[in-house]
Amino acid sequence: MHSARTGRAVREPVDITFYAVNGFLALMNVILAVVGAAATTGGTARHLAVAVAFSAACALPTLLSALEDRVAGRFPHGRAARVMRFVRTFYVHAFYGPYFADVILLSQGVWGPLSLDWLFAGIEEAAFGFQPALAFSRALSNLPWVNEIFFFGYFSYYLILTTGFWIMFLHGQDEAAQRAVFITITAFALLYVWYVFFPVQGPKYFFESLNTSWYGEFEGYVFVPLMRAIFNRMTLAGAAFPSSHVAIGLIAVLLLRPHLPRLFRLYLAVFVLLCVSTVYIYAHYVVDVVAGLAVVPVLLWVAKRLYRRVQ
């Protein structure tokens, strides 16, 4: 999988998806800037700056490959070469946050204040006779240790997406790790496009009571204040249906099963907590969770098929 030719633009399968996502986000930012739909999402200058940033980032794989070749040439059997191989394999993990944040802003730029939350809130009401996102946390939010468990469950998403593959790499399963990263980011890419054109913001933005309280009713020790700080600094009004926490989280867990079965069982248990947590902290409707589970076979089929082709 790894080529010795310095400067090749594509040396890992993940690079192809990386270029595709950066190109899509850059193009959408330029379009919003040109058509004048950028006023509600930072202005024309911001969108153009973001487009330039994503375009410039496309040089990163080539730069990392050149640096890896240089390090491997000087220290072919040293720790530095192994570190560079790790960075080259997982560099795309550093872009998950910027990608997701920009997708939400793009969706807001396309749709403005419009969303389909009314539809999904109506489905919840029809299915349950109440709103789970409202009732679940209200029943338990006065218990700090319960809040900690569920807020950790939500936080565990970031660990599930990354650490399992890192451990796979540290166990010498480099090709399996490369494949897992490609499948995960490719599944993400498919959802990014969907989120831009299918606006669902989530319960905490749709229900005025939740938007007003904004997690103020939750008491906790570590993960409650940590996640509250993250929510306060990021605009997350979008990308709710289907839940990427559920869909991509499950994909990441399933990719561990053939290679790290013990870790798979641990992460699967944490993943179940993650699914429940998305509703408890009113980030998602229950229907978002169900849809997140349902879309996994499709995302896996497409991503695995593309992986075989790019090999």
Phi, psi of 221 (to 5 degrees): -120, -50
Last residue of a domain, one of 98, 131, 156: 98
Lowest mean pLDDT among 38-52, 126-140, 247-261: 38-52
The Cβ-side half-sphere exposure at 107, using a 13 Å CA radius, reads 27
What pLDDT, on the 0 to 100 scale, is given for residue 37?
65
What pLDDT, on the 0 to 100 scale, is given for residue 36?
74
Q: How many CB atoms lie within 10 A of CB 50?
A: 24
Cα gap 268→256, rounded to integer Å: 10
Q: How many residues does the chain have?
A: 311
Mean pLDDT calculated for residue range 16-23: 97
Residue 189 placed within a domain: yes
160 and 294 part of one domain? yes
The Cβ-side half-sphere exposure at 78, using a 13 Å CA radius, reads 12
Asked if residue 104 lies in contact with residue 30, where contact means CB atoms within 8 angstroms, the answer is: no
What pLDDT, on the 0 to 100 scale, is given for residue 3?
43
| Between residues 101 and 5, the one the model is more confident about | 101
pLDDT digits (tens, 9 = 90+) for 274-306: 999 999 999 999 999 999 999 999 999 999 999
167 and 94 part of one domain? no
* Vertex 56: Cα angle to 245 and 47 (nearest 5): 65
47 and 127 part of one domain? no
Last residue of a domain, one of 98, 130, 157: 98
Residue 108 placed within a domain: no
Among 248, 66, 89, 267, CA closest to 172 = 89
167 and 259 part of one domain? yes
This model's pTM is above 0.85: yes
pLDDT at 82 over 50: yes
Structure tokens at 58: 């496309």
71 and 179 part of one domain? no
Mean pLDDT calculated for residue range 115-141: 95
Mean pLDDT calculated for residue range 33-59: 86
Residue 206 placed within a domain: yes
Residue 161 placed within a domain: yes
Question: Which one of 2-6, 122-126, 211-215 scores highest in mean pLDDT?
Answer: 122-126
pLDDT band (50, 70, 90) for residue 44: confident
92 and 119 part of one domain? no
pLDDT at 5 over 70: no
pLDDT at 104 over 80: yes
The Cβ-side half-sphere exposure at 5, using a 13 Å CA radius, reads 7
Asked if residue 228 lies in contact with residue 215, where contact means CB atoms within 8 angstroms, the answer is: yes
135 and 208 part of one domain? yes
pLDDT at 235 over 90: no
pLDDT digits (tens, 9 = 90+) for 154-188: 999 999 999 999 999 999 999 999 999 999 999 99
Mean pLDDT calculated for residue range 260-283: 97
Mean pLDDT calculated for residue range 130-153: 95
What pLDDT, on the 0 to 100 scale, is given for residue 76?
77
Asked if residue 158 lies in contact with residue 270, where contact means CB atoms within 8 angstroms, the answer is: no
Residue 185 placed within a domain: yes
155 and 297 part of one domain? yes
Among 52, 61, 9, CA closest to 30 = 52
198 and 247 part of one domain? yes
128 and 46 part of one domain? no
Structure tokens at 10: 């594509």
What pLDDT, on the 0 to 100 scale, is given for residue 219?
92
92 and 124 part of one domain? no
* Domain hosting residue 85, numbered range: 1-98
What pLDDT, on the 0 to 100 scale, is given for residue 286?
97
128 and 80 part of one domain? no
Mean pLDDT calculated for residue range 104-119: 93
Cα gap 59→290, rounded to integer Å: 38
Domain count within the chain: 2
What pLDDT, on the 0 to 100 scale, is given for residue 6?
44
Residue 261 placed within a domain: yes
Residue 110 placed within a domain: no
Lowest mean pLDDT among 72-76, 131-135, 165-169: 72-76
Residue 47 placed within a domain: yes
pLDDT band (50, 70, 90) for residue 2: very low
Q: Which residue has the tokens 């944490």?
A: 270
Mean pLDDT calculated for residue range 260-286: 97
What pLDDT, on the 0 to 100 scale, is given for residue 43?
83
